[in-house]
């Protein structure tokens, strides 16, 4: 009487196939996740830009809309975006605003953790210019960093 089952060779071949498939699939999934998180941050930047435009249409200035003391009223020009400007949903980016003066602002989404930590910051300004520090060197002056496209 013969006992039926898998041989050691068959099990090793199945594990090798599984390892090869995993080696291909995991990096693809990671890149997909990074692109998804980046798209969420871009959406948040545009929503916050619209929020600043709404506030500026009432006060004729981008300055003074950052709520640093959480009372619902803007009291600063620089800081993390607050609920009076917009609500962010990005879990791996911190969104901050800089209102340089009454006529201009810059919104920046900085990676804070997860798979996007080395992906580089995203920016949008009052003129609508969109920048991505794709090489994560701290500035937006390199070729191709004047848009959000890869």
Per-residue pLDDT tens for 48-83?
Answer: 999 999 988 998 998 888 888 888 788 888 888 888
List the structure tokens of 16: 């090798």
Q: What is the largest CA-CA distance in the chain?
A: 91
- Rounded CA separation 104/150 (Å): 26
Position 13 scores a pLDDT of 96
- Specify the pairing of strand 122-125 against strand 78-80: unpaired
Find tokens 């080696």 and name the residue.
23
pLDDT of 54: 92
The pair of three-digit structure tokens given for residue 8, joined into one six-digit string:
């050691």
Output 46 or 143, whichever has higher pLDDT.
46
The enclosing H or E element of 25 equals helix 8-59
pTM of the model: 0.82
What percentage of the chain carries pLDDT values higher than 70? Answer: 99
Distance CA 95, CA 107 (A): 7
Provide the percentage of residues in the chain whose pLDDT is more than 90: 53
pLDDT score, position 150: 64
Residue ranges of E strands in 3-139: 78-80, 93-101, 104-111, 122-125, 130-132
Which is higher by pLDDT, 101 or 129? 129
Confirm if 146 and 127 have CB atoms less than 8 A apart: no
What average pLDDT does range 109-128 have in this prediction? 91
């Amino acid at each position: 009487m013969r006992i039926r089952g898998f041989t050691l060779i068959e099990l090793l071949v199945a594990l090798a196939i599984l390892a090869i498939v995993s080696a291909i699939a995991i990096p693809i999934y990671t890149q997909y996740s990074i692109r998804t998180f980046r798209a969420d941050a871009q959406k948040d930047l545009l929503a916050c830009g619209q929020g600043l435009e709404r506030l500026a249409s009432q006060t004729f200035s981008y300055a003074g809309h950052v709520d640093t003391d959480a009372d619902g009223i803007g009291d600063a020009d620089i800081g993390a975006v607050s609920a009076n400007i917009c609500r962010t949903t990005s879990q791996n980016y911190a969104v901050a605003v800089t209102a340089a003066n009454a006529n201009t602002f810059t919104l920046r989404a900085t990676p804070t953790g997860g798979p996007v930590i080395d992906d580089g910051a995203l920016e949008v300004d009052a003129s609508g210019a969109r920048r991505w520090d794709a090489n994560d060197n701290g500035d937006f002056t390199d070729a191709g960093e004047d848009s959000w496209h890869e």
